[in-house]
Amino acid sequence: MQIVNRHGWQVTTARAKEIQLELAGEVSHVGDISNPRFIAGVDISVNRWTKTGAGAVVVLSYPTLEIAEIKVVTDRINFPYVPGLLSFREMPFLLAAFEKVTYVPDLVLVDGQGIAHPRRIGLASHLGLWLGLPTIGCAKSRLCGEHEIPPPEAGSSVELIDNGEVIGAVLRTKSGVKPLYISIGHMIDLTSAVRIVLDCCRGYRLPEPTRLAHLAAGGNLKMEIYPVLAGAKYK
């Protein structure tokens, strides 16, 4: 698939923040993906001892959520761990994996923040700009903003607010478990993002695209045969 090269990755942390501020205004907060054919999930696994990382892209058919394709790329990590700048650490792995993708997704769920970020451009938003695809931030923890506690039932949510601005939704995806932090990534509105995340849940806290990407990044999900959409086998 085609990827738009927006900037280099060998930058200082100060320059990385400048790039985020320059790109944040390009992030689209509108769009409704009503009938996607393929949805991808992405995640990163980091080995702190070898200083290497693995970026995984798992493409699923929708709405059946059957695996169509798994791509994983490993390499050395070239950017330090800095909260708020994880896209500069993780995106090179994900972009390399997307370059190998055969089934181009209509939408990408990202294990990370979208606009629920101090500079309104987390990993999901940054990735969306490079891919030119709708993306959703689906994070397990809060980076910024305040919120009430959502009701314990699955499907309940409350607004995530930062300086008077709604930057996301705190969504209970499974009854009695910790909520997820859902935010606009790119080319989608928040209502649609929440709906799609819930549609992709199959009894786990994480929606299937990012849950399977997490397994793939950790080496725990591999295709047994070249992906065939009808009946692809995986373990």
Q: Which residues face 59 on adjacent strands?
A: 40, 69
Structure tokens given for 52: 């290497």
Could you give the CA distance from residue 94 to residue 72 in angstroms, rounded to a whole number? 8
The percentage of the chain sitting over the pLDDT mark of 70, rounded to a whole number, equals 94
Could you give the CA distance from residue 155 to residue 135 in angstroms, rounded to a whole number? 20
What 3-state class would DSSP assign to 182? Answer: strand
E-only strand ranges, 143-210: 157-162, 165-171, 180-186
Average pLDDT along the chain: 93
The confidence score (pLDDT) of residue 223 equals 64
Chain segment 104-133, per-residue pLDDT in tens = 999 999 999 999 999 999 999 999 999 999
Q: What is the mean pLDDT of residues 169-196?
A: 97
Chain segment 53-101, per-residue pLDDT in tens = 999 999 999 999 999 999 999 999 999 999 999 999 999 999 999 999 9
Please tell me whether the overall predicted TM-score, pTM, comes out greater than 0.75 for this model: yes
Chain segment 190-227, per-residue pLDDT in tens = 999 999 999 999 999 999 999 999 999 999 987 644 44
Chain segment 222-235, per-residue pLDDT in tens = 764 444 444 444 44
Could you give the CA distance from residue 67 to residue 57 in angstroms, rounded to a whole number? 11
The confidence score (pLDDT) of residue 159 equals 98
Chain segment 2-30, per-residue pLDDT in tens = 898 999 999 999 999 999 999 999 999 99
The confidence score (pLDDT) of residue 2 equals 80
CATH class of 37-139+184-217: alpha beta
Task: Name the strand (E) or helix (H) holding 45.
Answer: strand 38-47
The confidence score (pLDDT) of residue 35 equals 87
Chain segment 149-167, per-residue pLDDT in tens = 999 999 999 999 999 999 9
